[in-house]
Every structure is written in structure tokens, then in C-alpha cells.
Amino acid sequence: MTSAETEPVWPFERTTPLDPPAVFAERRASCPVSKISTWNGDEAWLLTRYDDIRAVLADPGVSSDLTLEGFPEPSATVAAARGGQKNFARMDPPTHDEHRRMLAPDFKVHHVAELRGYMSELVDNLLDRMEERGAPVDLIEMLAQPVPSSVICRILDLPAERSDFFQDRVRTWMSLDNPPQVARQANQDILDYFAQVVDERLEQPGDDLISRMITNQVETGQLSRDELLHILQLLLVGGFDTTANMIALGTLTLLQHPDQLALLKADPSLVNSAVEELLRYLSVAHQVAFRLAVDDIDLGHQCIHAGEGVIAPIAAANRDPEVFADPDTVDITRDARRHVAFGFGLHQCLGQPLARVELQVVFSKLFVRFPDLRLAVSADDLVFRNSIIYGVAELPVGW
């Protein structure tokens, strides 16, 4: 029996920095689909099994439209941050599909593969700069942030000197520690910046993604200027902090598992499998996959009714022992490709091919250039970020 006092309340605390909250495993073993409370006292279903999480995220009976009555939210701040979003991540079909397909060609696997040469050169240059700077350095400042920000700036043709501005606003938007108004303002700043960029590109189009969307979608009437601004906001918040946190936490994970790092050093062909395992193990998108049931959904052992909120944590799916043996163990030789680190269903990450190549390039080079890379502080002194995407504030390293 549960009562309001004993019912766990989202978000749950982690007990160890790189593992999901223990509640997921406890519930998975005892009551895999159960009710929990959210910050404002609302109830929502918490899913903990891989199969249930995939089934619900892929079910046409769930909505991502957070303007709907009863939509569950992780916190007041996230509600404010996401409330400012009016893009296809917050839409259902058919508009979701129409908008997403406008962008999908730019994120095609083969199209993104063409950027591998650019990324390889970029990472080499960043590692050169790191060596010149001399140990110790903050890996986030020298590598983890510059890789995704340079790639996004290249795709959108944004000036690299504005990277600090984007970084600051995206981090503010992502943070769970700020008051809602601060998150709302960060969102508005990003939209205002893109409004200016779009006006410039209307005058002087280039061959970047923004210019092409203006020509192909806005000027043909398929997309409003405002819708374009919101799509650009999504590309920025989706592309910046996610990969940066994976680079930082992925490096930390390998440093803390020297046996796994030794395997990777001995056999560089393991890099792709290592990246999938790090994506699974870390599941950095730990405050996503909130949905509202708009139709009844029968999970076989539990029915979720229309109007009820559902939380489908990807970290719970990715640590399900039914799917991944010894799920709390890092094993870069396992086939982890079935993980749902990028989500599942029609909102699965658009930029995943890009993230994969960025991570593959970084982890194929970092430990070759710095074979003796190590933490320059005690792991106990690291500060982890309370953010929509999980991360570490600084990662001081030496070599």
C-alpha cells in the first residue's frame, strides 16, 4: 500500500554519480509499473522495464504536447524551460512528421558521415591546443564543449565567437537549479538571437541549413518564421550540451574503469561498441521521456488510461537486466546497440547520427594522443550538474 507520504517523488536522488536512482531497480523488481508523484503533487506512472518503456514511447496513444491538461513535468523550472518550446519535439503527428522531415535529410547517416573528416581535423586541433596549454586542463573547456559547438556552428553557419553566448544560454535553459523565470528568459534570448540571424539570412542567404530552410520551407509557406525560430532553438539545445556531457562523462567512465580503457587502447576497432556502451551506461538525458496518455494503453500487465501522465526514464530501460546482462557493469565489448539513450518512438533524437560520429572521433583519438590521461583531482571532488541533461561541471585532467 502506498500513501502520499510514502510515495516517491520525482526527481529521485542518485546515490552514486554515474548510476541512475536506485528506485528504478527497486521498482523494476517489485512493481515495474507504479504510480509516483511529481513536484506539483500530480501523479504519474513510472515505467522501469525496457519493454514497457519502448512500448509506451512508440505507442500512438501517447502525446508529447505539454500544453495538454495533465501533462507531467519533472519540475517547475523544466516546465518553464519546455513551456517556451514550440517545436516538433513538443508536437504529435501529423505536424511533427512534416516538420521533422524538413530537417531529416541534413541528419541522414550518409550525410553526417561526410562530416567525419572535418570532425577528425577539429578534434586533432583541439588536442593540439590542449597539449600546448599543458596539464592540468579542464577537459570540458578544451574538448567536450568545443566539439559539439563547433559542429553546430558549422551546420548553422553561426560565428564561432558567439559560442560562449550559446553555451551560457543553453546551460541556463538546461539547469534545474534556476528559478523558472531564468529558464524562460534563456529560451527567449536564444529565440531573439535566431530572429536576428534569420533576418540577416533573408537579406543574404548562404548555403547553410538556416538559409535553405528559409528558401525551401518559409518562403514556400510550409513553415512560419516563428516555427523556424523554435526549430533552431531545438537544434541548439539538442546539439550542444548532450554531446558535451557524453564526452566528459564518457572520459570519466573510461578513466574509472581502467580494464575497459585498456581494452579500447589495445583494440581501437572497439570504439563504436565502446560509444554505444557509454551511451547506454550513462543515459545522460535523464529528465526526458515524459508523456501524456491520450488513449488507453494496455501494457499486458497494466493498463494506462487516457489522461494519465507517464514517465519512461531511458536510464531505467538501459539498466534492465532482462535486456543487458550485468547492466550496472561497463563492458565495451557487449552489443549495447539496442539501448534507448536517444529515446524511442517518433521523437527519438534527430541528431543521433551526428552525436555518434562526434563521440566515435573523440574516443578514437583522445587516449591515443594522451595514453596516460588521468583525473587531476580526486573523483570525490567532482561536481555533477543538476540539469535536464546530466553532466559534470568541470573535468580537470592531466597526462
Partner 1 sequence: MRIEVMPERCIGSGNCVDVAPRYFDQSDADGVVEVLAGDVAAEDEEAVAEAADICPVAAILLSLPSPAR
In the complex, the residues that contact partner 1 under the rule CB under 8 A are 57-58, 97, 100-105, 107-110, 337-338, 342-346, 348-350, 352-353, 356
Q: Which is nearer to partner 1, 200 or 322 (CB)?
A: 322
How far CA 293 is from CA of 88, 130, 299, 312, in Å, comes to: 18, 48, 12, 12
- Least distance from partner 1 to the Cβ atom of residue 361, Å: 15
Whether 342 contacts 348, CB under 8 Å: yes
Helix H or strand E encompassing 239 = helix 225-239
Distance between CA 201 and CA 204 in Å, rounded? 5
- For residue 115, give the C-alpha cell: 562530416
Cis omega (within 30 of 0) for bond into 146: no
CB of 323 to partner 1, least distance (A): 11
Closer CB to partner 1, residue 166 or residue 342? Answer: 342
Q: Give CA separation, 120 vs 141, 318, 364, in Å.
A: 18, 29, 10
Minimum CB distance to partner 1, residue 145 (Å): 25
For residue 69, with 0-12 CB atoms within 10 Å meaning exposed, 13-18 middle and 19 or more buried, which class applies? Answer: exposed
Which residue's CB is nearer to partner 1, number 50 or number 173? 50
Q: How far is the CB of 346 from partner 1 (least distance, A)?
A: 5
User: Cα–Cα distances in Å, from 33 out to 6, 10, 39, 282?
Assistant: 17, 15, 19, 23
Nearer to partner 1, 126 or 285 (CB): 285
Q: Quick one: 352 or 386, whose CB is closer to partner 1?
A: 352
Shortest distance in whole angstroms from residue 60 CB to partner 1: 10
Cis? peptide before 136, omega within 30° of 0: yes
64 closest CA partner among 85, 45, 48: 85
Kindly state the smallest distance separating residue 109's Cβ from partner 1, in Å.
4
Output 109 or 303, the one with its CB closest to partner 1. 109
Q: How far is residue 26's CA from residue 287's CA, in Å, rounded to a whole number? A: 19
Task: Considering the complex, state which of residue 93 and residue 371 has its C-beta at the smaller distance from partner 1.
Answer: 93
Give the SS3 label for residue 47.
strand
For the chain, how many helices (H) and strands (E)? 17, 12
Closest distance between partner 1 and the C-beta of residue 43, in Å? Answer: 27
Closest distance of CB 360 from partner 1, Å: 11
Residue (88 or 367) nearer to partner 1, CB? 88
Q: Which residue from 70, 107, 59, 88 is spatially nearest to 344, judged by alpha carbons?
A: 59
